[in-house]
């Protein structure tokens, strides 16, 4: 259990999260993921990073049970800061990041893939922000990088999900493949990127980030202010306490 980094091919670093049963990351997990992605990007031999996860789904967001066990606001602050660091690590990684997504990609998972440079998904992958059902807010910044504005708002307000095929139609998912072919497809794309000159690909990443119309770190930080307000007011806890108790 945890985060591991391997080298499956020349110039490629594979960062894998494994937090059973559903890859809902605890606070320490978000920081571990951030550290691993940043370290992989700093590796002078790396030219592409693949972000993946073991198990049934790619990411189920924050560990709600960890927050339910905590008293005070320490867990909320930790989750806010940990998610912010992990999302930023993906966006600011010195080389392109390819996300390999299977099963569910929810909450914080949207923050990760929304900040990735490319997404390869399995046919059973679904993407969404169930934040309003879990007493939280946030990551609309990243969902808006995956779908058009009005669809983002509808998905956000309803907590509905979109399929990999739907995101492929919107142009945000590069390829949709059977789950058994997911890693091969992600590594094939990473290998194609990794064949580029290492210095030039790093300049390209910096240049593309530099012309991004949205400052994703500042935008997400703005959202987090409302998340904390919901926590202070008690509404977040009231909604969160119903999590897992639905009939």
How many domains, the chain? 1
Cβ–Cβ < 8 Å for 146, 155 = no
Give the single-character DSSP code of 181. G
Residue 196 falls inside a structural domain? no
Residue 198 falls inside a structural domain? no
Residue 41 falls inside a structural domain? yes
pLDDT at 195: 98
Residue 189 falls inside a structural domain? no
Residue 201 falls inside a structural domain? no
Taking the model in full, what pTM does it have? 0.94
How far lies 101's CA from each of 50, 60, 229, in Å? 10, 12, 31
Alpha-carbon distance of 25 to 19, in angstroms, equals 7
**What is the domain range of residue 41?**
2-178+213-240
* Assigned token pair, 244: 């897992």
Residue 151 falls inside a structural domain? yes
Instruction: Give the chain's mean pLDDT.
Output: 94
Cβ–Cβ < 8 Å for 108, 89 = no
CATH number of domain containing 128:
3.90.226.10
Residue 247 pLDDT exceeds 50 = no
* Three-state DSSP state, 201: helix
Predicted confidence band of residue 106 (pLDDT cuts 50, 70, 90): very high
Q: What is the DSSP string of 63-109?
A: -HHHHHH--TTHHHHHHHHHHHHHHHHHHH-SS-EEEEE-SEEETHH
Mind listing the pLDDT tens digit for each residue in 202-211? 999 999 999 9
The 3-state secondary structure of 99-164 reads EEECCEEECHHHHHHHCCCEEEEECCCEEECCHHHCCCCCCHHHHCCCCCHHHHHHHHHHCCEEEH
Residue 34 falls inside a structural domain? yes
Mean pLDDT to the nearest integer, 29-44: 98
pLDDT at 65: 78
Residue 7 falls inside a structural domain? yes
């Amino acid at each position: 259990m945890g985060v591991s980094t391997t080298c499956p091919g020349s110039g490629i670093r594979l960062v894998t999260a494994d937090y059973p049963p559903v890859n809902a990351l605890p606070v320490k997990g978000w920081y571990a993921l951030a550290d691993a992605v940043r370290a992989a990007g700093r590796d002078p031999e790396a030219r592409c990073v693949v972000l993946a996860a073991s198990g049934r789904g790619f990411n189920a967001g924050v560990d709600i049970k960890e927050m339910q066990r905590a008293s005070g606001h320490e867990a909320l602050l930790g989750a806010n800061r940990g998610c912010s660091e992990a999302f930023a690590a993906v966006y600011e990684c010195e080389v392109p990041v390819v996300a390999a997504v299977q099963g569910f990609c929810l909450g914080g998972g949207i923050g990760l893939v929304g900040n990735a440079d490319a997404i390869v998904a399995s046919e059973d992958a679904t993407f969404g922000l169930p934040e309003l059902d879990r007493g939280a807010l946030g990551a609309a910044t990243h969902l808006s990088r995956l779908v058009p504005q009005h669809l983002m708002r509808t998905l956000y307000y309803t907590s509905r999900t979109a399929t990999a095929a739907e995101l492929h139609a919107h142009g945000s998912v590069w390829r949709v493949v059977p789950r058994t072919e997911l890693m091969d497809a992600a590594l094939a794309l990473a290998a194609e990127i990794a064949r580029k000159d290492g210095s030039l690909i790093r300049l390209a990443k910096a240049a593309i980030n530099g012309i991004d119309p949205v400052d994703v770190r500042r935008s997400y930080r703005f959202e987090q202010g409302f998340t904390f307000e919901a926590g202070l007011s008690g509404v977040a806890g009231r909604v969160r306490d119903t999590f897992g108790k639905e009939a």
